[in-house]
A and B are shown apart, each in its own frame.
Chain A
Amino acid sequence: QQPVQSPQAVILREGEDAVINCSSSKALYSVHWYRQKHGEAPVFLMILLKGGEQKGHEKISASFNEKKQQSSLYLTASQLSYSGTYFCGTEDAGNMLTFGGGTRLMVKP
């Protein structure tokens, strides 16, 4: 079952902050975050593992609440380059990585 992302779309002005949420009905072992720009392949942002370990870009911040099966991606002081569609992927006990429907983010000058 696909994780649910919210919001589905968000528009920001440069310098504003945003939070993208991802929730699952299943117990999770890891959460991945990727960003896809129009016409390009998705690009890795971060992995959050059960137990608290994180792997990813220094400028990206995220959280993983294992008990609630939820993750949030924090985008602070947004830049024009942050525009794109953000996908969360969740890995359950079956080791299958399932992606949410995406959150479209647009940053305007």
Chain B
Amino acid sequence: KAGVTQTPRYLIKTRGQQVTLSCSPISGHRSVSWYQQTPGQGLQFLFEYFSETQRNKGNFPGRFSGRQFSNSRSEMNVSTLELGDSALYLCASSGDRYSPLHFGNGTRLTVT
């Protein structure tokens, strides 16, 4: 069974630009969650989608948005990039509530 796939692996953007990250979950998984990971901050929850609906949202500004498609693939968009947005963005999929999260290898975003 193929794992969670995130693309691209690395991105370098400049302040003010926008970026779109992609996540393909494990086949059959309908829940996709996004996390931001920075040194010293652990894993910060961004949002969770289930069957194309946003089920939960973390405490991030509106510049961070996401969506999920009918095939459960998900995208995350960050507009008007700031230096502080530099981080590893992890996507995780799961089958249902109380199931383990399966993480992708992440997209490392660098904002200059």
A residues near B (Cβ < 8 Å) are 2, 30, 32, 34, 40-44, 47, 49, 55, 87, 89, 94-102
A-B contact pairs, 17 of them (CB 8 A): A32-B100, A41-B104, A42-B43, A42-B90, A47-B99, A47-B100, A89-B43, A95-B97, A96-B56, A97-B48, A98-B45, A99-B35, A99-B45, A101-B40, A101-B41, A101-B42, A102-B42
Please give the residue numbers on chain B whose beta carbons come within 8 Å of chain A beta carbons, in ascending order: 4, 33, 35, 40-45, 48, 55-56, 58, 90, 92, 97-106
Cβ contacts under 8 Å, A47 to chain B: 98-100
Contacts of A40 in B (CB 8 A): 105
Give CA–CA (A41, B45) in the complex, Å: 15
Contact across chains for A41 and B90 when beta carbons are under 8 A apart: yes
B105 A41 Cβ-Cβ under 8 A: yes
Give the CA-CA distance A100 to B43 in the complex, in Å: 7
Q: Across the interface, do B102 and A44 meet the contact criterion of CB distance under 8 Å? A: yes
Complex Cα distance, B104 from A47, in Å, reads 19
- How far is A94 from B40 in the complex, measured between Cα atoms in Å? 25
The 4 closest A-B pairs by CB, nearest first: A44-B100, A41-B103, A99-B43, A101-B42
List chain A residues, Cβ under 8 A from B48: 96-97
Chain B residues near A94: list those with CB within 8 A. 56
Q: How far is the CA of A99 from the CA of B44 in the complex (A)?
A: 7
Task: Report which residue of A43, A87, A98, A101 has the largest number of chain B beta carbons within 10 angstroms of its beta carbon.
Answer: A98
Q: How far is the CA of A94 from the CA of B47 in the complex (A)?
A: 13
Q: A102 vs B43: C-alpha distance in the bound complex, in angstroms?
A: 8
Taken together as a complex, chains A and B put the C-alpha atoms of A43 and B100 apart, in Å, by 9
Least Cβ distance of A15 to chain B in Å?
28
B contact residues around A102 at 8 Å (CB): 42-43
